[in-house]
Structure 1
Amino acid sequence: MTNEQPNGTTQVVKMNKSYTVLISLVVALGGFLLGFDSAVISGAVKGITTYFEMTDAMLGFAVGCVIFGAMAGNLMAGPLSDRFGRKSVLIIVAALFAVSASWSALATGYTEFIIARIIGGVGIGGAILIAPIYIAEIAPPKLRGSLVSFNQLNIVIGISVAYFSNYFLVNIEGEAWRWMLGVEAIPAIIYFLALFTVPKSPRWLIQQLNKIELARKILVKIGGEAYAEATIVEIQKGMEREDSKGRLADLFQSKYGTIMIIALGIAFFQQITGINAIFYYAPTIFEQAGGSTDSSFLQAIVVGLTNLVFTLVAIWLIDKLGRKPLLIIGTSAMTIALLMATLAFNNATYRFDQESLSKISNTETQVALAALEGQEFDGQKVLFEAIEGRLTADQFLDFKRNQITNFIQINATLVLIAILLYVAAFAISLGPVMWTLISEVFPTKIKGIAISVVGFFNSLVSFSVTQIFPWELSNLGPTATFAIYAGLSLLALLFVKRFVIETKGRSLEEVEELLIRK
C-alpha cells in the first residue's frame, strides 16, 4: 500500500498484515461474547421461569435487563476509554462477562440473577462501542473496513454458537439452564487473558498521553518506519485541527437536525421491528408453533446460521450495492416475512382430543378441560375465552405459556420460513448497515458523543421490546404480535425511502456537506 508524506509525495509501505489481523481478531472476541450473551438466554427461558417462579413481567425483565445494563455500558465506556485507554476498558469488559456468566449460572434468587445479568449487560454496552473503536484506531486505512467488520461478524458467530450450545445442553441431567448460562465463562476468561497480548491504541497514546515513542514502536510493528512516521504526523495534524471537543448540547443544534433524524430513526427501527425478541425467544416462538422442545432448539440453530450467512452477504454487498438499497430490500422482505408469520398463526386452529388432553402436565388442568374434548377453536382469542373461566389464574397462565402447544394445528413450515426470511432480511440490512451508516453521517467533532447517544437510544428501544414480548405472546397472542411488528417494518421501509441518503462512494466530507444545514 502507499502512504502520503507531509511533502505531498507517496511512499510504498509494506504492511505487517498478519500482525494487524491477529490483533483485530483478538479484540473482536468481544463481539463474540456480546452475541453469545445476547442469545444464550433464549434456551434458558423455560428453566429460569420455572425455577424463579416468574410472572410475564418478571420474565421480560430477566431477559431484557441485560440491555438495561448495556445502556449503562454505552454511557460509561466512551469516557472511560478516553481516560484509561481502549485496551483497559476491554479487559474490564472481559472480566464482567466472566463474572456475569458464572454468577447467573449459580444464582439461587431472582434478585441476584438480575444483578448478574445486568453486569453482563454493562459488558455488552462496552464491547459494542469500544471493540470497533480500538480496531479502527489500530488498523491501517486500506484494511480498516474489513478489520472493523470482524466485530460484527463475531457478534453473529456468537449468536450461532449460543444456539448450538443450548441445543446440546438442553437435555443435560439436572438444571440445564445453569450450564447454558455458565459455559460463557470459558470464552470470557480466554478473552480476558488474550487481551494482555495486544498493544494499546497508538492514537490514544498520542492524543491522550502524548507518548509518541511508545506509539511509534507499535506503528512500526504494524507498517514499518515510514508508515509510523506518516501516521504520527497525521494524528498530530488532526489534533491541531480540533479546536474544540464535541458536547452533548451540540447534537441539538439545528444544523445537525437531518443527521439526528437519520441516525435516531435507523436506531429506532433496527430494534422496534422485533429482532431481539426473535433471537431471545426463538425456541419459545417455535414451541408456540407446535414444535417439540428438541425441534425448537434445532430450529433456533438454523436461525443463527441464517443470520451468519446473510451477514457475510451484507459485508460483501454493502460497498457494491450501497447502504440505502440494502435497507430498502431488507425492510421490504422483513415486512413480507412478518406478514407470513401473522397469516400462519391467524389460520391456526386449536383442537381438543384425547391425545392432546393427555399431554397436559397439570392433572387439575387436565380434568378442568376434559369437557372440551372433541371441540376445535379458530384463533387464540376464542380459545382463551372458552377456557379462562374453567381454570384458576395460575392454571390459565401455565396453559398460555406451556400447554397451548399441545393443541395447536398450524403450518409450522410456513412459520419457520417466515422467521428465516425475516432474520436473513435483517442481517443484510438494519443489522450491519445501521452501525456503518451512523459512523459515516456524523462529523468528526461530534462523532464520539453522538454514537454513544445513539447506542444508548438503540439499547433503550431494544430493552422495551424484550420487556413486553412475553406479555404480548401471552395476552395478545402470536397473531397480533407479529402483525404489530409487520406494521413497524413497513414504517421502517417508508422511513428509509424518505429520509436515508446513500453514502456509498462519497467521502466523509461530501456526506457532511450534504447533510449539515448551513
Structure 2
Amino acid sequence: MAGGSLAPIGVVKERAELYQGRVTLHVLIACMVAAVGGSIFGYDIGISGGVTSMNGFLQKFFHSVYIKKQHAHENNYCKYDNQGLAAFTSSLYLAGLVASLVASPITREYGRRASIICGGISFLIGATLNAAAVNIAMLLLGRIMLGVGIGFGNQAVPLYLSEMSPSHLRGGLNMMFQLATTLGIFTANMVNYGTQKLEPWGWRLSLGLAAIPAFLMTVGGFCLPETPNSLIERGSKERGRKVLVRIRGTDNVDAEFQDMVDASELANAIKHPFRNILEKRNRPQLVMAICMPAFQILTGINSILFYAPVLFQSMGFGRNAAFYSSALTGGVLAGSTFISIATVDKLGRRVLLISGGIQMIICQVIVAIILGLKFGENQELSKSYSILVVIVICLFVLAFGWSWGPLGWTVPSEIFPLETRSAGQSITVAVNLLFTFIIAQCFLAMLCHFKFGIFLFFAAWITVMTLFVFVFLPETKGVPIEEMIFLWRKHWFWKRIVPEYPQVDENETI
C-alpha cells in the first residue's frame, strides 16, 4: 500500500431491496436491437459448415477434399479431414480472439455502442470479401475481418444487455443475445439448404448474405442509447441518471444510481484492469471467465453446428438429407432458447446448467454407442438408426439451448465489478474463441482418428463441467450486477479467497 492509505472501495452496502423500476419499452427495444449482434456470430457458425460441404466451394478452393469426397471407398470418418479446410473455419476465431482483447479498452473508454458499431462494420467488410472471393488469400482475409467483427460484438453486446436489464429479469433479457445467435444459425442452415442446389456459385450467396445482419448491427449501434453504467464510469453522471430513469420508468432510482456511482469511483481508480483482474479479490470472477466459455465449447456443440452437414454426410445421409437434418438441429436450438428465457429468472442458472449437462451426457453416450455398433468405415447407417441419431442429436442440442448455450455468455457478463467488467468480458470472449478455434481446427482430424469416440470425449468434459457448476458456481439469479461481490463473500469456497472488504492499493491508480 502507498503510505497506508486506500483508494475508493466500490459498493460496500447491499441496497437491492431498494431498487425500483419495471421492464419498460425502452429497455425491450434497446435489448432487441443490441442482441442483433449475436446473429452475426450465429450466422457464421451455421453457414460455415454448409459451405464447406458444397461441391462448388470445394472444387474452387479445396480440390483435394473434393476428390477425396467423391472416392467411393474412402473411410467414412475421414473423407473431410483436411487442415486447410479446417483453417477456413477456424481462422475467423483466432482473429476474433485478438479483436476481443483490443475491444476491451475501446468498450471501456468510448462505451459499449462504439464496440458494437466497430463490430458491425468489420463483419460487413468481411462478408463482402468472402462473397467476391476469387482466391484463397481473399477468402481468408474476409474470414479475418469477420473474426474482428465477432470479437468486438461478442465483447460488447452481452455487457450492454446485462447493464441495461433490471436485475430481476437480467437473465432473460441477456439471453436475447443467445436467441439472436440461434436464429442466425437456423437462418444460415435454411440458406444453405437452398443455395446448395445453386451449384457451382451457391456458396457465394451463402457467404454474402452475412452482410444483412452486419448492416442491421451497425445501424442499430448508432441508434442505441449508451448504458447508464458506462456513462457514469466515463464521467457523465447526469446523462447516466437520465438514461436510468428512462429505462426503469421511474424517478426513484436513487439506490441503483448510487451503486453505479460507487462502482464507477473504484473503476476510475483502476488504470490497469487486466492487471487488476489478477488480484486475489477478483479470483472467482477470473475463474468463471475462463471456465464458463471453455466449458461451453467443450460440450461439442460447435462441432455439431459447424459440421452438421459434413457430419451427417459422413454418417451416410444423402446430400439433401444432411442439409435438412442440420436445418432441423438449428431450429431446435433456436426454439430451446425460449425455454431458457422463460425459466432462467425463476429456476435460476444452476438448475438449468446442471439439468442440461446431465441430458447432454446421456445423448453423447447414446450416439457413441449407435455409431460404435452400427456404423463402420465403409457402410451407412440404416434408415431407422439414422433417424434415431438425428433425434438424439436434437435432444442434445435442446439441452444445450436451455443451459450452456445462453448461460455460457450470461453468467460471465453479469458477475464482474465495473472496474474489470470490460476486461473480464474480453477474457471470456477470448477464451471462447480460443477453444472454438482449437476444436474447429482439430474436429475433422479427431473425427477421423477417434471415430465414434469423439462423442465420448465430449461426454467426459460435460461431466466435469456439470460437477464444476455444482461445486463452485453460486446462484446469481436476482442479484444486482453491482452487488455481485457479496455473493462470493458468502459462498462456502470463495469466501476463503475474497476479502470481506475490497481494498485497492493506491499504486494501482497511477
TM-score (norm 1): 0.79
| CA distance in structure 1 between the partners assigned to 2:473 and 2:226 by the alignment | 36
Maintained 8 Å contact 2:229/2:260: yes
Q: Note the 1:486-501 alignment, pairs <5 A.
A: 486-501=459-474
Q: Which residue matches 1:452?
A: 426
1:283 counterpart (309, 317, 331): 309
Q: Which residue matches 1:370?
A: none
Q: Which ranges in structure 2 are unaligned for 5 or more consecutive residues?
A: 1-14, 66-81, 500-510
Question: Radius of gyration: which is bigger?
Answer: 1
Q: Which residue matches 1:99?
A: 125
1:177 aligns with 2:196: no
Deviation (angstroms), 1:254: 4.2
Q: What residue identity is the alignment partner of 1:425?
A: A
Q: Note the 1:180-329 alignment, pairs <5 A.
A: 180-208=206-234, 210-212=235-237, 214-215=239-240, 218-219=243-244, 221-222=246-247, 226=251, 235-240=260-265, 242=267, 244-245=269-270, 247-329=273-355
Deviation (angstroms), 1:258: 4.8
Q: Which residue matches 1:25?
A: 32
Q: Which residue matches 1:34?
A: 41
Q: What residue identity is the alignment partner of 1:53?
A: F
2:409 counterpart (431, 435, 439): 435
Q: Which residue matches 2:380?
A: 408
| CA distance in structure 1 between the partners assigned to 2:397 and 2:19 by the alignment | 43
Give % identity: 28
Q: Note the 1:39-58 alignment, pairs <5 A.
A: 39-47=46-54, 48-53=57-62, 56-58=82-84
1:151 aligns with 2:124: no
Deviation (angstroms), 1:71: 0.5
Q: Which ranges in structure 1 are unaligned for 5 or more consecutive residues?
A: 1-7, 350-378, 384-406
Deviation (angstroms), 1:416: 0.6
Q: What residue identity is the alignment partner of 2:473?
A: V
Aligned in 2, Cα 1:94/1:227: closer, same or farther, shift over 3 Å?
Answer: farther
Maintained 8 Å contact 1:289/1:415: no
Deviation (angstroms), 1:123: 1.0
Q: Note the 1:112-123 alignment, pairs <5 A.
A: 112-123=138-149
Deviation (angstroms), 1:277: 0.8
Aligned in 2, Cα 1:178/1:502: closer, same or farther, shift over 3 Å?
Answer: same
Maintained 8 Å contact 2:161/2:174: yes
Maintained 8 Å contact 1:103/1:116: yes
Aligned in 2, Cα 1:145/1:500: closer, same or farther, shift over 3 Å?
Answer: closer
Deviation (angstroms), 1:113: 0.8
Maintained 8 Å contact 1:28/1:154: yes
Deviation (angstroms), 1:188: 2.0
1:510 counterpart (486, 500, 504): 486
Maintained 8 Å contact 2:36/2:216: no
Q: What residue identity is the alignment partner of 2:46?
A: A
Deviation (angstroms), 1:213: 5.2
Maintained 8 Å contact 2:289/2:424: no
Q: Which residue matches 2:395?
A: 421
| CA distance in structure 2 between the partners assigned to 1:13 and 1:445 by the alignment | 24
TM-score (norm 2): 0.80
Maintained 8 Å contact 2:122/2:149: yes
Q: What residue identity is the alignment partner of 2:37?
A: G
Q: What residue identity is the alignment partner of 2:42?
A: G
Maintained 8 Å contact 1:64/1:467: yes
Give the CA RMSD over aligned residues.
3.0
| CA distance in structure 2 between the partners assigned to 1:432 and 1:248 by the alignment | 25
Secondary structure, counterpart of 2:428 in structure 1:
helix
Aligned in 2, Cα 1:115/1:348: closer, same or farther, shift over 3 Å?
Answer: same
Maintained 8 Å contact 2:93/2:433: yes
Deviation (angstroms), 1:283: 0.8
Deviation (angstroms), 1:240: 3.5
Maintained 8 Å contact 2:42/2:182: yes
Q: Deviation digits for residues 198-233 of structure 1, max 9, x if unmatched? A: 23334433322x345555654555456825777665
Maintained 8 Å contact 1:340/1:414: no
Runs of 4+ off more than 6 Å = 10-16, 228-231
| CA distance in structure 1 between the partners assigned to 2:213 and 2:288 by the alignment | 36
Could you tell which deviates more after superposition, 214-223 or 311-320? 214-223
Deviation (angstroms), 1:442: 3.9
| CA distance in structure 1 between the partners assigned to 2:472 and 2:259 by the alignment | 34
Q: Deviation digits for residues 464-518 of structure 1, max 9, x if unmatched? A: 0010112223x32631322322232233334334433444466624312122414
Q: What residue identity is the alignment partner of 2:409?
A: W
Secondary structure, counterpart of 1:199 in structure 2:
coil
Aligned in 2, Cα 1:24/1:262: closer, same or farther, shift over 3 Å?
Answer: closer
Deviation (angstroms), 1:16: 8.4
1:341 counterpart (364, 367, 375): 367
1:82 aligns with 2:89: no
Q: Which residue matches 1:352?
A: none
| CA distance in structure 2 between the partners assigned to 1:264 and 1:479 by the alignment | 28
Deviation (angstroms), 1:25: 1.5
Q: What residue identity is the alignment partner of 1:274?
A: G
1:480 aligns with 2:453: yes
Secondary structure, counterpart of 2:175 in structure 1:
helix
Q: Which has the higher contact order (CA 8 A, sep 6+)?
A: 2
Secondary structure, counterpart of 1:318 in structure 2:
helix
